[in-house]
Structure 1
Amino acid sequence: MDTPKFLFKQNIFLTIASFIIVFVTSSFVFMQEESSAIVGVWKTGDGNAMVRIYKNGEKFQGKIVWLKEPNDPETGKPKVDKNHSDEALRTRPILGLVNIWGFNYKDKNIWEDGNIYDPKNGNTYSCTIKMLNPNTLEVRGYIGVSLIGRTDTWTKQVAK
Structure 2
Amino acid sequence: MKKIVCASLVLFLMTLALPLYAASGDDVVGLWYTEGNDSKVEIIRDKDEYRGKIVWLEDEVYPADDPDAGKTKYDRNNPDDKLRLRPILGLEIVWGFSYDEKDEKWEKGRIYDPESGKTYNCNMWLDEEGNLNVKGSLDKWGLVGRSTVWTPAGE
TM normalised by structure 2 equals 0.79
Aligned counterpart, 1:151:
147
Whose helix fraction is larger, Structure 1's or Structure 2's? 1
Confirm whether residue 50 of structure 1 aligns to residue 46 of structure 2: no
1:21-58 deviation digits (Å, cap 9, x = unpaired): xx8xx96x877x71100001001112221100000121
Question: For 1:111, which of 82, 85, 106 is the aligned residue?
Answer: 106
Question: For 1:81, which of 56, 75, 83 is the aligned residue?
Answer: 75
Instruction: Give ranges in structure 1 of 5+ residues lacking alignment.
Output: 1-22
For residue 112 of structure 1, give the secondary structure of its aligned residue in structure 2: strand
Shift of 1:146: 1.0
TM normalised by structure 1 equals 0.77
Percent of pairs with identical residues: 38
Q: Partners in 1 of 2:38 and 2:75 — Cα distance?
A: 15
Shift of 1:77: 2.1
Aligned counterpart, 1:5:
none
Confirm whether residue 66 of structure 1 aligns to residue 56 of structure 2: yes
**Could you list the runs of 4 or more consecutive aligned residues of structure 1 that deviate by over 4 angstroms after TM superposition?**
none
Q: Partners in 1 of 2:120 and 2:70 — Cα distance?
A: 29
Confirm whether residue 140 of structure 1 aligns to residue 135 of structure 2: yes
Shift of 1:134: 6.1
Q: Partners in 1 of 2:46 and 2:147 — Cα distance?
A: 24
Shift of 1:158: 1.6
Shift of 1:64: 0.3
CA RMSD across the alignment: 1.9
Aligned counterpart, 2:87:
93
Q: Partners in 2 of 1:115 and 1:152 — Cα distance?
A: 14
Alignment-mate amino acid for residue 44 of structure 2: Y
Alignment-mate amino acid for residue 43 of structure 1: Y
Paired residues, what number? 133
Q: Partners in 2 of 1:134 and 1:80 — Cα distance?
A: 33
Alignment-mate amino acid for residue 90 of structure 2: G
Aligned counterpart, 1:17:
none
| Native 8 Å contact 1:37 1:134 kept in 2 | no
Question: For 2:115, which of 117, 120, 131 is the aligned residue?
Answer: 120
Q: Partners in 2 of 1:85 and 1:117 — Cα distance?
A: 12
